[in-house]
Structure 1
């Protein structure tokens, strides 16, 4: 695995030992960022089932201001720390050991707002539509946010999830990527900046 483009282009990323983590392949990662970027002018990214941190790091390399990485596995957290250090992204990263539900509540308390969210959970978890609603209800999503869900190709997510509508679904073998953006008529006025915080 490596960083595909941007300031950390070509830097190798460590993988999490064992078979519990399924990192996004370089091919799929390149396809995702071709669809949503390919580059960014600031904003905060949330990598909620971070694994190796590859998606959040790629977003930072391509211009995101900061990224929050969350994973409940301590081995993954160690690898994320190593990968953000290797790519020179430590100062722009916050890394937390937590499950997704508790992390969402903690981020709400800090008044954070994200412009890119990456959801790449274990494929047995198919409730990302519910999680998207929670993120929106807790005002963690800017109106111009893009939400990326990586999932088993046999699973279909709804066309519409609250204010968020499916803009694209692409399949790569057994893997599928579904993108959501806010429907124009459902946009709300609100601050799109994320709050500051300290790395764990």
Structure 2
């Protein structure tokens, strides 16, 4: 694993020891950033279930200015710290060992807002609808923020969800990526089309 592009291009990233974490492959990572970037002019990224931290490190390398990364696994949190150091981003990132929903509530109390959110929960947990609701209810999404979900290809997240506008879905074997964009102050389309 490595940083694919940007200021930290080519820096190697460590994997989390053991079998509990499923790192995003370089192929999927490259595809994700070609859909949402590929580069950024500042902004804040939130990486829930961060694992190695590879996605938010890639976002920082490509121009995001700050990141918040969370994971419940102690080994993952240690690996994130090592990878941030290897990429030279320790001063631009906050890392928390916390449950995702608890982390969202804590960030909401701080009135934090993000321009990019990565959701990559363990497939078996089926947490995505709750996380999308919490992101919106907690006011954590900036206008135009993108939410990138990595999930089991058998699960479908189609159509708009509240103020999250469905943008696209792509499949890579048994993994799928679904992307939403946050829109505020815009009335939803009436039922039955335009």
> With structure 2 as the length reference, what TM-score do the two structures score?
0.93
Structure 1 counterpart of 2:99: 99
The CA deviation at 1:182 is 2.4
- C-alpha distance in structure 1 between counterparts of 2:167 and 2:184, whole Å: 12
Structure 1 counterpart of 2:138: 138
Structure 2 counterpart of 1:111: 111
Where does the alignment leave 5 or more consecutive residues of structure 1 unmatched?
188-200
- C-alpha distance in structure 2 between counterparts of 1:141 and 1:183, whole Å: 9
- For these two proteins, the number of residue pairs brought into alignment is 187
- C-alpha distance in structure 2 between counterparts of 1:125 and 1:4, whole Å: 29
Structure 2 counterpart of 1:37: 37
Q: Which has the higher contact order (CA 8 A, sep 6+)?
A: 1
The CA deviation at 1:130 is 2.0
Mapped pair 1:84 → 2:94:
no
Per-residue deviation, residues 132-161 of structure 1 (Å, max 9, x unmatched): 111111100001100000001111013111
- C-alpha distance in structure 1 between counterparts of 2:33 and 2:152, whole Å: 19
Where does the alignment leave 5 or more consecutive residues of structure 2 unmatched?
188-194
The CA deviation at 1:127 is 2.6
The CA deviation at 1:37 is 0.3
Q: What is the root-mean-square deviation of aligned Cα atoms in Å?
A: 1.2
